[in-house]
Structure 1
Amino acid sequence: MFELIKNGGWMMLPIILCSIGAMGIIGERFWSLQRKKILPAELVPSIWQLHRDNKLDDVTLRRIKVSSPLGAVLSAGLANSEHGREMMKISIEEAGRQVVHDLERYLNSLGTIASITPLLGLLGTVIGMIKVFSAIMVHGVGDPGVLAGGISEALITTAAGLTVAIPSLIFHRYFERLVDEYVVKMEEESLHLIDVMHGDREEA
């Protein structure tokens, strides 16, 4: 493996750094975007129980807010439930924008890695081909060993760039879809909360 990296030339260094960054982001997002952390199943039933028992005081709302992203959105609505339906909706939307921003953390970086690593591989290919033609100018085409080094460097960097870019792109799309699903579910719970608090629907 070390020889393969060495033969790829200096362009392998940024590609390796990109691969380390991508693996770190993917691992962190898998850990942070677990469903039980974003949409805890017991949260909504516990909120309705506290609402029925008239126990939604400031301390309880703060605890709900820090419990999960869904809790942050719902607590914003609960804190403004006495100010009317429209104010409650505005508060939920403002909290929701912040939550979505947090859920999408590092995804732009992962998308950037997926975009630039093929270009880094292509740049390595170009550099390798320049070395091939430079060797041809100096030694002619009679020494295949001289030409093989540049061709090898060109092919290795291309393969390395694609090897990093393909899984990065796959996971970037996967996490984006996961965040979209979470956002839809939080919107659903928020609308249900607004309707119940203002008497348009009954608690499920």
Structure 2
Amino acid sequence: MPILNFLLQTATVTDTLATAASTADTTEVGITENISYIEFLMKGGAMIIPIILLLFLCIYVIFERYMSIKKLTKQDPYLLRDIRQQLQNGKVENAMILCTREHTSTGVILASGLSRIGRPIGEIEAVMDKTATIEIVKMEKNLGYLGLISGIAPILGFVGTILGVIKIFHTISVTGNLNIQTISGGLYEKMISSGAGLIVGVIGYSAYHVFNMMIDRYLAKVQEQTLEIINIIQEPDGN
């Protein structure tokens, strides 16, 4: 009998725990279903608004810079070959037309050198270097915004969290009601602000460095092409 009573009690406790767990799961699912992602995000406080605006600005700059950089850095694998042929035939103007047909930075840089054919090689190199610098500046346009966003967004998130914590403790000091629900409930909402700011900051930071790596790779390629076009100009048939 003692063993039977023990088993019955164990079964009763198990059923109770199972019922409680089921109730908790149901409650959690109900809460999850009753709140949308937007509503959950807006619980982060007033700082969520500027963070969202920074996110939209970040996405716009990323899209705009990607399209612009891809267009400017487009490479024609046959461009140098075609330029060599035209210069060997003494058709400098045709070579310059080939450079400008794609409206790329590479074409603009090479055309600036071809336009100085007949001048000292040092002058041709200087002109091409200056033109390359101007084209790189065009590619870097608005990238500063990404760097700014990557720094500001996390700070705004932390400010929102700090303001929320101050508000929580102010409420506790006024009401004298100190319990875990008040602290944890208010704190998790304010941590949303920090999380959102960090996410936006990571997006801006990553995009900023990815674009700079693209530009650096392009610059190395342009330097190689500049050296090659100088060699072509110096060829006896290219003068």
TM-score (norm 1): 0.88
Give the distance between the partners of 2:72 and 2:145, measured in 1 at CA.
25
* 1:19-30 correspondence runs (5 A): 19-30=55-66
* Deviation digits for residues 96-154 of structure 1 (CA, Å, limit 9, x no counterpart): 11011011122111111111111111111111111111111111233555545541332
How has the CA–CA distance of structure 1 residues 163 and 173 changed in structure 2, closer, same or farther, with 3 Å as cutoff? same
Residue correspondences, number: 201
One-letter amino acid of the structure 1 residue matched with residue 176 of structure 2: G
Give the distance between the partners of 1:131 and 1:104, measured in 2 at CA.
42
For 2:178, what is the secondary structure of its paired residue?
A: coil
Give the distance between the partners of 1:46 and 1:62, measured in 2 at CA.
11
* 1:36-115 correspondence runs (5 A): 37-57=73-93, 61=96, 64-65=99-100, 67-115=103-151
Counterpart pick for 1:157 among 193, 215, 224? 193
Counterpart pick for 2:54 among 11, 18, 21? 18
Equivalence for 1:124? 160
Q: Is the 8 A contact 1:50 1:56 kept in 2?
A: yes
Deviates more, 1:20-29 or 1:175-184: 20-29
Q: Is the 8 A contact 1:25 1:110 kept in 2?
A: yes
* Deviation digits for residues 21-54 of structure 1 (CA, Å, limit 9, x no counterpart): 1111222222223278532323222222222232
Give the distance between the partners of 1:36 and 1:67, measured in 2 at CA.
7
Unpaired runs of 5+ residues, structure 2, are 1-36
One-letter amino acid of the structure 2 residue matched with residue 168 of structure 1: G
Q: Is the 8 A contact 1:7 1:152 kept in 2?
A: no
Give the distance between the partners of 1:63 and 1:123, measured in 2 at CA.
55
TM-score (norm 2): 0.76
Match status 1:140 vs 2:176:
yes
Q: Is the 8 A contact 1:107 1:172 kept in 2?
A: yes
Give the distance between the partners of 2:89 and 2:107, measured in 1 at CA.
18
- Among all aligned residue pairs of Structure 1 and Structure 2, give the percentage whose two residues are the same amino acid: 26
* Deviation digits for residues 148-191 of structure 1 (CA, Å, limit 9, x no counterpart): 55413320000001111112211211111110000010011001
User: RMSD of the TM alignment (CA)?
Assistant: 2.4
Unpaired runs of 5+ residues, structure 1, are none
Q: Which has the larger radius of gyration?
A: 2
How has the CA–CA distance of structure 1 residues 199 and 60 changed in structure 2, closer, same or farther, with 3 Å as cutoff? closer
Equivalence for 2:230? 194
